[in-house]
Amino acid sequence: MCHFAVQATVLVIRLDNRLFRRHPLCKMTGEIQREIEGLRERIWDHNYLYHVLDRPEISDAEYDSLFRQLQKLESLHPQFVTTDSPTQRVGASPAEGFRTIVHAIPMLSLENAFTLDEIKAFDRRICKLLHVDRVVYIAEPKLDGLSVELVYENGSFVRGSTRGDGTNGEDVTANLRTIRSIPLRLRRTQLAIPSVLEVRGEVYVETDDLHQLNEKREAAGLPVFSNTRNLAAGSLRQLDPQVTTTRPLKMFCYDIGRVEGIRIGCQEQLLRTLSLLGFRVNPLHRLCGGIEEGISFYNDFQVRRKTLLYEADGVVIKVDEFALRKVLGRVSHSPRWAIAGKFQAEQAITKVREIIVQVGRTGILTPVAILEPVRLYGVEISRATLHNEDEVKRKDVRAGDTVIVQRAGDVIPEVVKSLTKYRKGDEFPFKMPSVCPSCGSRIIRRQSMVAHRCVNISCPARIKQSIVHFAGKAGFDIAGLGIKVVNQLVEKEIIKRPSQLFRLDRETLISLERMGPRSADNLLAAIRNSRSMTLERLLFAIGIPEIGQQTARILAKRFGTLSRLGSASKEELLGIPEIGPSTTTAITEYFANQENRAVIEELLTCRVQIKGEGTRLGPLAEKRFVFTGALSRMTRDEATERVRHLGARVSTSVSSQTDYVVIGVNPGSKGAKARNLGVKILSEEEFSSLTEQ
């Protein structure tokens, strides 16, 4: 009996142990970790089926049950929580602002084609440059959204940014993590997981989702969004990711930047690879055996665009083979191997209430039609440009006319033509004024120029526009300095030139209408924070005629300092391939003007600092760097920015032209190639030492 009792006790203990091990709160550590990882794998797979392939295999209730199981286990065992877990899409606190991210490879804009003849001309240029009769293209829809870049390291999503100006974007990682069609971890397939992968695409909102969201906002008494692009852009720039997660954002991917660990030879292979790795790829792309097939896709897609779930404003036609793209190269702002065929703009009929004249920051007068409001492509239009006096006469547009208006390239409103059959006789022709409507100064029109110009550089309208341009996002980026504040500052003669913004004080700002102490303090803080400025942004901000962002970047890189550019001769400027005679004249005339020089002098007196000035002349100027492997002391973006500030360049491939290859943890094949070519190899410590000199 005693023996039986002992056996019974042992049996109970064994049963209890078995039960104990099965209890979810008491499992062995390894078993718990495996269960968590298994749940994640199942959820990742179902996310891919639902958000990427649009082919769900389980109900929402079943998915929610899996998700809750994972949440419960992770809450009990936080040591096993990873940043790429499906539960971690929204975890960041509201940000104070967005830091700048430098794209390792610039995100270029595309050349536009508005007619079939322009698309055919693109093909002729390609064939001529490649010395062939026919090229294989791939055609893809061009969505009306916001371009972004996603960066993955060893398969995990680590950061994401907006396109920005093509070189510098905004870090919107926390907001991008909320988009469920963006994988937080690359799918494991037969493909190798790349050590570094930069994926580019378009964040957008479907049309029905916009309408549903607007209905809810209208019912709640909130302002509605005018179109899907504004909704997408505004949602990604929310400082609180909790707000972004309530917005119906989706993403299609179509391009890559830097890649390490896999080889991709053409666009068709790229789209297949992206899909296998877990990204959404637009299924409506087509491989085209020549430009005729590309045009056929363009025509077909234009017909069906109204039936799509999203807004598309054109078709992008690209050379398929990457090797050919490398041969074709790029011009200053766009690749030679791609073109955006824009669709015929949507049109509407309305009336011209009056024609006013707008004075720009360079003094150019532009006639603008004030319209009876009409909706175009989801946006209410009440103004449309008439470009210049010759254009008004050519189209015979008069105040009181019934006109056809459109959004040029689906963006800029313009008057297409006047419908003269609706005239009643009380319409009157437009005539450009002989004096400036803002300051009363005389208007000049130089021979062979279409523009009329106010010659008074102290014209209030010119001053207002120049200050708005100066403080804009691509310039000094002074948050809170809108047109209403600028109007008051100029009309009350508080400031007469942009540089005087840095002399504003709290009392002066509080005296303005609708400007309380808190708003004044915020604006002054924004002005102080804008004092540190790169040369290229400064050149754009000060408003030299014909100097856009790309030209400013070229000039900053070529001359390195403001003083060197200011003393440059016409011969030096004309020696730059991207700078023509007209731009050369604009630059030399700007720096020859004493008032312009006074503005620059005042900026420097107000302690505006030009970051990196003069570094281009240092020992690393024009040197070429290549990075491979993960860096421990800094991110790849930070290393790239450091190199560029020193006047050097960053490349993604090793060649005989490479000066340095920086090797981090788990480097790829670039290190071996560098050794074979005799290229100098640096450890991360050596790189830090070299670039901190």
Give catalytic residues, as residue numbers.
142
Burial class (CB in 10 A: 0-12, 13-18, 19+), 143: buried
> Tokens at residue 199, please?
């994926």
> Tokens at residue 336, please?
């030679």
Contact 40, 13 (CB under 8 A): no
Q: Which residue has the tokens 């505006």?
A: 608
Burial code (b: 16+ CB inside 10 Å, e: under 16) for 617-656 equals eeebeebbbbbbbbbeeeebbebbbbbbbbbbbbbbebee
Instruction: Write a three-state SS string for 350-418.
Output: EEEEEEEEEECCCCEEEEEEEEEEEEECCEEEEEEECCCHHHHHHHCCEECCEEEEEEECCCEEEEEEE
Contacts of 161 (CB under 8 A, 6+ apart): 101, 103, 148, 149, 169, 170, 171, 172, 173
CA distance 21 to 571: 83
CA distance 154 to 159: 13
Helix axes 483-491, 460-471, angle to 10 degrees: 140
Burial class (CB in 10 A: 0-12, 13-18, 19+), 26: exposed
CA distance 234 to 215: 18
Contact 683, 663 (CB under 8 A): yes
Using DSSP's 3-state secondary structure scheme, residue 178 falls into coil
CA distance 560 to 612: 8
Using DSSP's 3-state secondary structure scheme, residue 248 falls into coil
Spell out the long-range contacts of 81-88 with Cβ–Cβ below 8 A and sequence spacing 24 or more: 83/156, 83/184, 84/156, 84/157, 84/184, 84/185, 85/40, 85/184, 86/40, 86/43, 86/44, 86/47, 86/184, 88/177, 88/184
Burial code (b: 16+ CB inside 10 Å, e: under 16) for 4-13 equals eeeeeeeeee
Question: Which phi and psi (to 5°) does residue 669 adopt?
Answer: -80, -5
CA distance 283 to 254: 11
CA distance 28 to 35: 11
Contacts of 607 (CB under 8 A, 6+ apart): 502, 531
Inter-CA distances, 599 with 144, 454, 541, 583, 605, Å: 39, 20, 12, 20, 10
Angle, alpha carbons 357-391-433 (nearest 5°): 35
> Tokens at residue 442, please?
């005389």
355 Rama class: left (phi>0) / alpha (psi -120 to 50) / beta:
beta
